Structure 1
Amino acid sequence: MTTPEPIDLVIFSSSILHGGALTETAGFVAISNGRIAHVGRADGEQAANPAAEWTARAKQVIDVGDATVCPGLIDAHIHPIHGAEIARGLDLGGVTELDAVRAALARRAASTPHAVGSDWLFAWGLDPVIFGDAVFDNSLFDGILDGELVFITLFDGHASLVSDAALKLAGVTGTEELPSTGYVGVDQHGKPNGMLYEMAAQELVRRFLPQPSFDQRVDELGKLLRSMAEAGLVAGQMLDFGAPDTLEVLEALERRGELAIRLRISPWVMPGATEEDLKAMLAMQGRHGRRWHVHGIKLMMDGTIDNGTAWLFEPDTHGESLHPLWHDPEALAAAMKFFHEHRIPTTTHAIGDKAVSFVARTIGALPKNGTVHRIEHIESIPDSVLAEIISAGAATSLQPTHCALYSRADHTDNWSRRLGSERANHAWRTRDLRDAGAIVALGSDWPIAPFDPRAIIASAQTRRPAGRPDVEPVRPQQALSARAALEGYTSQYWRSVGEEGGIVESGARADLTIVGHNPLTTAPDEFAQTPVILTVVDGDVVVDNRQALTEGVNRGSFQPA
C-alpha cells in the first residue's frame, strides 16, 4: 500500500477560475511540489474526493473566502535590470507641458545638492509631446540647467536628451558611425543638439554616467521584484541583456533568498551582431537559477514612432521613420533563421507597419518545426499586414497602456501627429488580432509603462487609463473582453512562448494570483483597484495580504506596499 504524497498547500475559495474555460467554481486547490495536485469543486465531483482527504495531508490550509483564485499573472515584456538604468532620478511621467517640465527640472536642481559641471542630474519618462511641432533639442535646459551634466531618457526608452556639457564630456560630435541606424541629433549647422536616438547613440554618453554599486543594484532588483509580486505578478519575461553582469546580479539576489517572481530571460541580439555573437547567445540558452532561466531571444527590427525611428511604408509627417534599425534587414532575418534552426523561440520588436510586415513574412518563410516566434508592440498596421501576421502563424505581444497613457483619441499626442489620422486610427489592434485568431499576450514593457497588471487588464478593456472615465477611449472598438484581457496575462502568454500553462487544473504549474474581485465580472476600473490577497509562485506563498485586510483596510481601496 502506497503512502499518499504530502500536500504543501490547500487554498479554499468560493470563486476559482477553473480550467481553460475559466469557469468560476467554489472549492479548493491542492498543491504539491510546485504543481496543482487537485482542484476540488463544491458539487457532486467533490464527493469522490472530499476536501478532508486533502487537508489532512496539507502542511498549510488557507481559506480566502470569496476572493477569486486566478491563474498566475505573467507580464510578457519587462526590463527589471536594464530598466533600473533608465528609471533614474526625476520621474517626468505624465508631465505634458514644456513649461511644467522646465519647472520640475529647475526644482530638482535646486533641491539636490550637487556641483555644477561635476555631478549628474537624471530624469526619465519625458513625453515628446512637450515639443509640439518644434525640433526635439536641449534648448529646454536654457536658463535653468546651464552648465549642468544632464541625462534624460524619453518615455519610450529609445532616445535620450542630454545637455551640452554632457555632450562635451563624452566627446560627441554628431559624425559618429554607429552599428545601427540610430543617430545623434544635430542642428542646421551640424552641431549636436542633445538628442540621442536609439541605444547605440545613447551609449555614447551613457558609458560616462556614474553607476550604482553592484550591491545597490541587487538591492533595487529585489525591491522591484517584490513590488511586482505585490501587484499580483508571478513571473515576467525579461527581454534584454542590457547589463553584462545580469546573471551575476540574479545569482547574488538568489544567494539572499528566493526571487519574488520567476524570470524568463530572452537576451537581445542587436544590430551589428556577428556569427560569434549569435553562437554566444545560443550557448547561453538553458542557464538558470532557482527562479530564473534563459530561454529565447529578443530581436529589434526598428525604433519608435515617437522618435521618428520606426520603419514605415510611408514617411511620418516629419518625413521620418523610413529605415529599419538594422542597416541590412536581411541580417535580422538570418539571425531569426539561425535560432529557429536550433528551435529557440524569438520575439522581435516591430512597431512600424513595414517592420511588422517584414518580420511577419520572415516568420512565415521559416519551415515549421514547432518553434513559436512572436512580434512585439505592433502599434499601427493596415489590414494587409494583419493578414500577414495571421498567415505567418506569428504570436503577438502588445502593451495596452502604451495606447491608453501615451496616445489620445483626438490625435493631439506626438505619436498620432507623426502618423496622421489614418494610421493613428489603426492603433494597437488588440481586438482585431484576437478575432482573427492570433495569440495576443499582454504586458507593460516596464519601465516604459507601470507594471501593475490590474491596471493594464483594465485598460485593455477600456482603451483609456484605469480610473479615468473622463478620458475619451482610444479606438474603443479594439477593446478586449474581460476574458481575453485576463488570458493575455495567463494562457495566451504561455502560448506566445510555445508552451502550455496559465490555467488552474490538476497537473498545472502552481502559479496563482488571488484577488479580491473576479476579473471576469468586475467593472474594469474597480478591478484595477482590487486587492491582491495572495501571490503564489511555484506553490510558494510569496505575498500574503490577508492580515492587512482583516485589520480594517477597505478591500476596494487596498493598495499593496
Structure 2
Amino acid sequence: MNYPIHADTLFRNGTVITIDRARPRAEAVAIANGRILAVGTVTELDTLVGPKTRVVELDGRTLIPGFHDAHDHMIGFGLQLQMVPTNASATRTIDAIVESLGRRADETPAGAWVRGAGYDDNKLAPSRHPTRADLDRASTDHPIFLRHTSGHMAVVNSCALALIGVNAGTPDPDGGRIVRDQAGNPTGLLLETAMHLVTKRFHPHPHTELVEALAAANDVYVREGITSHTEAGIGYLSDLEAIAYREAVDTGRLKVRSTLMVRAESLERLQGSGDEEGFALTLGVGTGWGDDRLRLGAVKMFSDGSLIGQTAAMSEGYVGAPDNQGLFTTPRETLRDWILRAHRSGWQCAVHAIGDIAVSFILDCYEEALQDAPRADHRHRIEHCAITRPETLERIARLGVVPVPQQRFIGELGDGFLRVLGRERVRWCYVQRSYLDHGIELPGSSDRYVVRGTPLLGIHDAVNQVTDAGEPFSPEEALTADEALRAFTLGSAFASFDERNKGSIEAGKLADVVVLDADPTRVDPRSIRDISVVLTMIGGEIVFEGEA
C-alpha cells in the first residue's frame, strides 16, 4: 500500500494489541500528525519511514492503546499528594498515624490545618477508626482533618470540632452523620455530608493550588500509561476547577486528555421560548462541549454513601449492624428531578449509586426519563454500581445504561467488603463478567484518590479476583486479560462517547499509545501487576519514556 506522507514515528518489531476486533494483533504502527496513520506488518509500514521519522524498536515489547480511567478525581489526587499519607503502605497502626500527623504538626504554624488522607480502618491495628482523642495526641494546637480512603468519612480532633462548633447538641446534617459515643459526645468521626462542616473551612482551594495539583497528578498518570481520564465531578473543591483545567492544558502542564463531569448543583434552570425549559450551564453549554484535550462530560449526582463506611443504601443491613441499611445522601425527589431535567436537556447523567436500593432507584429514574423523552443513545451511567442482583443486570442491559465499576476495589478494598457484606452478598459486589454476559460494554476505572489508580493493578484484580490479603473475592466474575484491557481502553472511551477517536489502535484514531515491557495476555496472570510502562505517547508526543 502506498501512503502520501511519511510517518513521524514508527513502532515496529514487537507485539501490538490493537483492541480492534477486525485486526486484534499487528507488528507495527505508524504515527503522523498526532493520529494513527497505519497499522500492519513491518514490511508494509517500513515504506513510511522518511528522513525525519523516529523509529522506535519495540524489541519484543508490547504496544497497546493508552489507558483510559473512566472515573477518577485527578485534582483531588494531586492535592492529596501534599497531605500526610496514612494508607496501608505508609501506616499500619493508629499510633503510626498519630506519629505521622504529629511530625507534620511540628512543621506547621499553630492554628493552621494539618491534613492527612488514606487510612482504612479494616487494615489498621487495632481494627477501628481513629478518634478525636487519638488525634489529640498528635496536636491540640492545630485542627486536624484525617480523610478515610473511601472519601466518604473523616476523623477530626478536638481542636477542629471546637473550630466548627460541633458538640453533643449539634444535630446530624441531612445526608450525613456525626458519630457519637455512649454519652452522646462526638467521637470525631464524620460520615458523608457531615464532613462538609469541616471541608468548607478550607474550600475553595486557591486557583494556583489546583493548577499545581493537576501538574503533579499528570506526572504520575503518564508514568502509569494513562492517556485519558474522566474527572468524576468538578465544582466540589472550587468553582474555578474548570478554569484550572483549562490553564493546565494551555500551559502544557496537563497532557492527559480530560473529560469533566459537572456537579448537578452547578446547573441552572434556563428558560427558552414559550414552555421550553433547560437544565444547563449558562448559555446552554452541555455534554460534549470542548475539544479532544478538554471537554465536558456527564452531569454528576450522588445518591448514597459507601460500602466501607456502611452508608451505601442497602435492602438489608450490614454484617454486625443489621439495623443499619445506609442512607441516601441526596433526597430521592431531588435526584429524580435532576435526572428528568438533565435528560430532557440532552445531558448524559452519571449518578453515584453503590447499594442495591440506590442502584434500583436510579434505574427507576432513568426508565421514567426515557419513557418521558425517548433517546436512543443516552449512555446514562451509574458510577460504581456496586451491588447488582441478577434482575438489576437485566434492567441495566435493557435500558442501555453504562455501569462504571472500579476493578482495583477488588484488591484494595475487597477485604473490607467481605467484612461488611459477608460472603453471600459479595457475589453481587463489583461484578465484571456478569456485565459482559449481558452484552454490556464494561469500562475500567479506579476512583483514584480512593485507591491506587495504576490501570495495570485494576487489570490484575479484574483477572485474578483476589484481595490484597489473599482472599478469593468473586472467582466466577474473573475476566480474561484481553477483556480487562478492553475495559481500560475502548470500554472507557465508550462510556464517554469517544470510541470513534480513541480506545483502540486503528488508522485515523488519536495517537495515544503505551509501550509495556511484557504482554499482559501472555504472562502468568498473577504477575500482571508487575508489568512496567516503558513509554507513553499522547497525540503523537512522547510524554513519558522510562528505561529501556
* Structures share fold, TM-score greater than 0.5: yes
Are 1:235 and 2:228 an aligned pair?
Answer: yes
Equivalent position of 1:368 in the other structure: 375
In structure 2, what residue type is equivalent to 1:374?
Answer: R
In structure 1, what residue type is equivalent to 2:144?
Answer: V
User: Which of these residues, 380, 404, 411, is aligned with residue 411 of structure 2?
Assistant: 404
Tell me how far 1:322 sits from its aligned partner. 4.0
Which stretch of structure 1 is more off in the superposition, 22-31 or 351-360? 22-31
Q: Equivalents in 1 of 2:26, 2:492: separation in Å?
A: 26
In structure 1, what residue type is equivalent to 2:329?
Answer: L
Distance 1:117 1:172, change over 3 A: farther
Contact 1:161 1:195 in 2 (8 A): yes
Q: Equivalents in 2 of 1:231, 1:519: separation in Å?
A: 14
Contact 1:78 1:237 in 2 (8 A): yes
Deviations 1:268-310 (A, max 9, x none): 225x977479432753655547722222222211111222321
Equivalent position of 1:70 in the other structure: 64
Tell me how far 1:72 sits from its aligned partner. 1.5
Distance 1:88 1:201, change over 3 A: farther
Are 1:257 and 2:260 an aligned pair?
Answer: no
User: Which of these residues, 147, 153, 156, is aligned with residue 150 of structure 2?
Assistant: 156
TM-score in terms of structure 2 length: 0.87
Distance 1:97 1:537, change over 3 A: closer
Equivalent position of 1:172 in the other structure: 166
User: Which of these residues, 390, 396, 403, is aligned with residue 383 of structure 1?
Assistant: 390
Counterparts of 1:144-543 in structure 2 under 5 Å? 144-146=138-140, 148-173=142-167, 175=170, 178=173, 180-198=174-192, 200-209=193-202, 214-241=207-234, 242=236, 243-257=238-252, 259-269=254-264, 275=269, 278-280=279-281, 283=285, 285=287, 288=290, 291-317=293-319, 318=321, 319-327=323-331, 329-365=332-368, 366=370, 367-408=374-415, 413=416, 415-464=417-466, 471-500=470-499, 501-543=502-544
Equivalent position of 1:557 in the other structure: none
Tell me how far 1:168 sits from its aligned partner. 0.8
Deviations 1:320-353 (A, max 9, x none): 23432222x1321332232222332222211001
Q: Equivalents in 2 of 1:391, 1:347: separation in Å?
A: 17
In structure 1, what residue type is equivalent to 2:312?
Answer: A
Contact 2:249 2:255 in 1 (8 A): no
Contact 2:105 2:142 in 1 (8 A): no
Equivalent position of 2:28 in the other structure: 28
Distance 1:419 1:52, change over 3 A: closer
Secondary structure class of the residue paired with 1:152: strand
Tell me how far 1:14 sits from its aligned partner. 2.5
Which ranges of structure 2 fall in alignment gaps of 5 or more residues?
A: 271-277
In structure 1, what residue type is equivalent to 2:148?
Answer: L
Identity of aligned residues (%): 23
Deviations 1:40-70 (A, max 9, x none): 224xxx5xxx434311275433222211111
Q: Equivalents in 1 of 2:538, 2:128: separation in Å?
A: 48
Q: Equivalents in 2 of 1:540, 1:114: separation in Å?
A: 40
Distance 1:519 1:377, change over 3 A: same
Distance 1:148 1:233, change over 3 A: same
Deviations 1:254-281 (A, max 9, x none): 34325221111112225x9774794327
Tell me how far 1:471 sits from its aligned partner. 1.4
Distance 1:191 1:344, change over 3 A: same
Distance 1:62 1:162, change over 3 A: same
Q: Equivalents in 2 of 1:111, 1:333: separation in Å?
A: 44
Are 1:102 and 2:95 an aligned pair?
Answer: yes
Q: Equivalents in 1 of 2:539, 2:430: separation in Å?
A: 33
Distance 1:24 1:438, change over 3 A: closer
Deviations 1:232-274 (A, max 9, x none): 111111111123211222233234325221111112225x977
In structure 2, what residue type is equivalent to 1:247?
Answer: A
RMSD over aligned CA atoms reads 3.1
Secondary structure class of the residue paired with 1:334: helix
Tell me how far 1:186 sits from its aligned partner. 3.2
Which stretch of structure 1 is more off in the superposition, 392-401 or 279-288? 279-288
Tell me how far 1:401 sits from its aligned partner. 1.7
Distance 1:81 1:278, change over 3 A: farther
Tell me how far 1:526 sits from its aligned partner. 2.8
Contact 1:305 1:321 in 2 (8 A): no
User: Which of these residues, 56, 78, 89, is aligned with residue 83 of structure 2?
Assistant: 89
Deviations 1:498-535 (A, max 9, x none): 34241111122221111111121122343322222221
Secondary structure class of the residue paired with 1:528: helix
Contact 2:305 2:328 in 1 (8 A): yes
Contact 1:39 1:506 in 2 (8 A): yes
In structure 1, what residue type is equivalent to 2:239?
Answer: P
Equivalent position of 1:123 in the other structure: 116
Contact 2:207 2:240 in 1 (8 A): no
Deviations 1:356-384 (A, max 9, x none): 11122332341233211111112223222
Contact 2:136 2:157 in 1 (8 A): no
